[in-house]
Amino acid sequence: MLSTPLCLLFCFLCLKIAFSSSLHASSFSTTQLCSHEEAFALLQFKTSFSTNNTASDPERCNTYHTKPYSKTESWKEGVGCCSWDGVSCDNVTGHVIALDLSCSLLSGTFPSNSTLFLLKNLQSLNLSFNDFRLSKIPTEISQFTKLKHLDISCSQFSGQVPAEIAHLPKLVSLNLSNYLYSDSAELILETTTLRNLVQNLSEVRELVLYGVNMTSVNPRFFMNLSSSLTTLGLAESALRGNFPNSIFRFPNLKNFYLSGSFRERNLTIDLPSFNWSSPLQQLYLGGMDCGRGLPESIGDLKSLQYLSLSCNLEGSISTSLTKLTQLSVLDLSWNHFSGPIPAFIGNLSQLTSLGLFFNNLSGQIPSSVANLTQLRSLQLSLNHFSGPIPAFIGNLYKLTSLGLGYNILRGQIPSSLANLTQLSVLDLSENHFSGPIPAFIGNLYQLVSLLLSSNNLSGQILSSLANLTQLVVLRLSNNQFSGPIPFHATRFSTLSTLDLSYNLLNGTLPPWIFTLPLLEDLNLGHNQFQGLNS
């Protein structure tokens, strides 16, 4: 149940985007017609594609609060194109200046002679979340000489990014993101193209190239980007070599995301020990190496709201983090930090997410954590934390995800957990918890994932667990649960994993267990059920 850092990052961005205003010009007066040529160009463009319900991943579109539907379907001749869905016109000249066809179910090869290129006045083009069937990005893109915003992320373009991408001198934001490790579409950005892009696009403020394969690119070229740069997104980029840390002196840089290949880890950056002068608000470094410890100088980044570092850091967690009072997300997972969670963590009272999983941290969970009442996610799995779950955990009543697995925690599951009524993920697996499953667990109705495997829990399985009708994963294996499976009727319509193995359960197996509609993974082995060996 560990989300990848990119996933966390991706979702954080969604929140941000949801609150930021649209880049598009406002709609032209609906009564006024756009030119015949532009209407024709759009209608022709529409006919190049079919509508396919699988073309726009609803999950990804939903994270942007956009429901996929065909925007072009309503486009009809005889009606002013400025009133068409997704089309915006200049309110003086009537020219089409912005086209937002994101999440529009467009499916088909993108024609290089597309009539779209006739829209010479286009300033903003958003084609994200469609399926262009591994088309190449057309070289004709350079005909959009007035383009300021280009977003073709997650739209199944593939192959080399054409050199012509560097011929868009007015570009302010460019997003070519793709998902290198999850999609079949792969965009490759060659070193010369990048060099030209960086030199030529002197207005560029936001450059987002997640998942674009830049294996051949020398990271030094990014230093030639305009000093007005505010966002640089290079996560999952397969970059290699040393990324110059002068990036931290870009005077306007607010958002910086960098990760190499998590498998190769052939990318490095040296965290500066002084002079981080950028006004950074969001910093993500993952799948790479960034020196030894976390320098005290990190405390200079007073505007940081989101900090996620997963880059082989070691030592203790630097006290200077306490200066970052704006932090909402702190994720130091997948490093080698050791020692206890420092008490100063309680000062970061704005935190909504604290991730420390997969480190060498130890000691008890400190009482200062009780101060973090805004937390929605607390991930401490895969460390060496010991002692009981402190009762103050009940203060963190906004938690939706609590991960304490793979530690050496002991004692009973405390009753204060009953307060965490928003929980959807509870992971206590691989610890030394003992005693029964407390009855209140059946009241945590939001639970999707309940992981209690490999503890010393005992007693009967509570019938009230059947109240958890949202459950997708239920793992109780490797404990000393005894008695029969108590549920009479199935209410687990969403359950996909049920693991009850390695317990002392007995009685007859209820027949419904084999008819759960979504069950993919069922393990009942190593119990004492009647008529079921081992």
Ligand X SMILES: *[C@@H]1O[C@H](CO)[C@@H](O)[C@H](O)[C@H]1NC(C)=O
Query: Using CB under 6 A as the criterion, which residues of the chain lie in contact with ligand X when the complex forms?
Result: 17, 23, 26, 44, 50, 52, 54, 64, 66, 91-92, 102-103, 107, 111, 113, 115, 126, 128, 149, 151, 153, 166-167, 169, 173, 175, 180, 186, 188, 196, 200, 206, 208, 213, 215, 231, 238, 240, 264, 266, 346-347, 349, 368, 371, 394-395, 397, 416, 419, 442, 463-464, 466-467, 482-483, 504, 506-507
- The token duo for 200 is 């030529």
- By beta-carbon distance, which residue lies closest to ligand X? 346
Q: Least distance to ligand X from the beta carbon of 274, Å?
A: 28
Nearer to ligand X, 2 or 163 (CB): 163
Q: Least distance to ligand X from the beta carbon of 125, Å?
A: 9
Q: What is the helix (H) or strand (E) element at residue 254, kind and residue range?
A: none
Q: Least distance to ligand X from the beta carbon of 306, Å?
A: 14
Q: Least distance to ligand X from the beta carbon of 75, Å?
A: 16
Give residue 386's Cα distance to chain centre.
Answer: 30
* Integer Cα distance of 490 and 518 in angstroms: 12
Q: Are 166 and 201 in contact (CB under 8 A)?
A: yes
Nearer to ligand X, 151 or 331 (CB): 151
Q: Least distance to ligand X from the beta carbon of 448, Å?
A: 17
Compute the chain's Rg from CA coordinates. Answer: 27
Nearer to ligand X, 193 or 308 (CB): 193
Nearer to ligand X, 34 or 180 (CB): 180
Give residue 28's Cα distance to chain centre.
Answer: 35
Nearer to ligand X, 259 or 353 (CB): 259
Nearer to ligand X, 188 or 513 (CB): 188
Nearer to ligand X, 151 or 430 (CB): 151
Q: Least distance to ligand X from the beta carbon of 115, Å?
A: 5
Over 335-381, what HEC string results? CEEEECCCHHHHHCCCCCEEECCCCEEEECCCHHHHHCCCCCEEECC
Query: Strand runs (DSSP E) across 217-367, as ranges?
Result: 231-234, 241-243, 255-259, 267-269, 282-286, 306-310, 314-315, 329-331, 336-339, 353-355, 360-363
* Integer Cα distance of 217 and 243 in angstroms: 11
Place of tokens 């999850």: 182
- The token duo for 444 is 């945590």
Nearer to ligand X, 231 or 407 (CB): 231
Q: Least distance to ligand X from the beta carbon of 515, Å?
A: 20
Q: Least distance to ligand X from the beta carbon of 498, Å?
A: 17
Instruction: List Cα–Cα distances, 47 to 51, 102, 114, in angstroms.
Output: 10, 17, 10
* Integer Cα distance of 232 and 259 in angstroms: 12
